[in-house]
Amino acid sequence: MITFLLLLPVGSILVWLYWACLPSDVNRKGRWRWIDTLLLLSLIVLASLFVFLAMHAEYIDAGPIWSEIVAVSGAYGIITIGLSIGLILRRRVGKNP
């Protein structure tokens, strides 16, 4: 539960930034909208899988909050890198139609 509360504000800002930074000359309807939606859904699934694995891993000589820290840090990395790659690819396609 703590992991979700830590991910919610930053994750929503990252998703908003992704949609706001998309190139304006690229068509935001049709096929590209589906690709963006699939990208976001796949990143959510990957981050959720990482959180599940990190929360159920055994950390020797670590406190009870350590699993939360590892889960949130990894999920931030997955979401940030995935959205960055998606934005870079969208901008390249926007320049070369």
52-80 confidence digits (pLDDT tens): 999 999 999 988 889 999 999 999 999 99
Contact (Cβ atoms closer than 8 angstroms) between residue 86 and residue 39: yes
38-50 confidence digits (pLDDT tens): 999 999 999 999 9
Number of domains, the chain: 1
Quick check: is 1 in a domain? no
83-95 confidence digits (pLDDT tens): 999 988 887 876 6
Quick check: is 70 in a domain? yes
Q: Enter the pTM of the model.
A: 0.84
Contact (Cβ atoms closer than 8 angstroms) between residue 93 and residue 35: no
- CA–CA dist 19, 27 (Å, integer): 13
Quick check: is 20 in a domain? no
> Which residue segment(s) compose the domain that 35 sits in?
29-97
Quick check: is 22 in a domain? no
Quick check: is 90 in a domain? yes
